[in-house]
Amino acid sequence: MHERCYAATRASSIAVQCQAMQFDIRVARADEAEALLQLWRLTGSGPSVTDTPEHLRKLTHQAPDLFLVAEMEGRLVGSVLGGWDNWRGHIYRLAVHPDFRRRGLARALTAEIEKRLRDRGAKRIYALASTKQGMGVKFWDSLPYEKSKDIPYVRTFDPD
């Protein structure tokens, strides 16, 4: 956990205190798909071709413990999505509402998703950061992640 944040685990969420602000980090719910897409639009981290309400609802059922949101007073202010392929972990869609940045929330979300991926057996975690998001690249550079020498290739299929 980031040095400015303190966490307390509850049954369904983790309460995180960052710079005098209380956030709850918990699993995303299917009924929050539209709010998540709105958050991603606001932060410039989406949506992409795979970011549809139907797809997000499916994710909340397939791997609920790896799709996390940060909430403050009933408002979604952050998200992170973890992926596990039984070989390595992946982090996607780390997003924090602009009004809540620079308070340790991104680090708290990252620490929690890393913990969950490590609990599944991850020895290596890849984090996807858009090169169009300078703040995001700086964030990952500030953590003990290194730029991969791998070159990602992506194939997008036409919607059916």
Q: Where are the alpha helices (DSSP H) in the chain?
A: 33-43, 53-62, 105-120, 134-141
Rounded to a whole number of angstroms, the CA Rg of the chain reads 15
Confidence band of 8 (pLDDT split at 50, 70, 90): low
pLDDT in tens, 78-137: 999 999 999 899 999 999 999 999 889 999 999 999 999 999 999 999 998 776 677 778
Q: 24: buried, middle or exposed (CB in 10 Å: 19+, 13-18, 0-12)?
A: middle
Q: What is the mean pLDDT of residues 66-88?
A: 93
- 88, 126 in Cβ contact below 8 A? yes
- Residue 51: per-residue pLDDT: 84
Q: Where are the domains of the chain?
A: 27-141
Confidence band of 63 (pLDDT split at 50, 70, 90): confident
pLDDT higher than 90, residue 145: no
Cβ-count burial 135-155 (b if 16+ within 10 Å, e if not): ebeebbeeeeeeeeeeeeeee
The proportion of the chain whose per-residue pLDDT surpasses 90, expressed as a percent, equals 51
Question: How many Å apart are CA 158 and CA 101, to the nearest integer?
Answer: 35
Q: 74: buried, middle or exposed (CB in 10 Å: 19+, 13-18, 0-12)?
A: exposed
- Residue 48: per-residue pLDDT: 81
- Residue 1: per-residue pLDDT: 46
pLDDT higher than 90, residue 39: yes
Q: Which CATH number fits domain 27-141: 3.40.50.720, 3.30.390.10, 3.40.630.30, 3.65.10.10?
A: 3.40.630.30
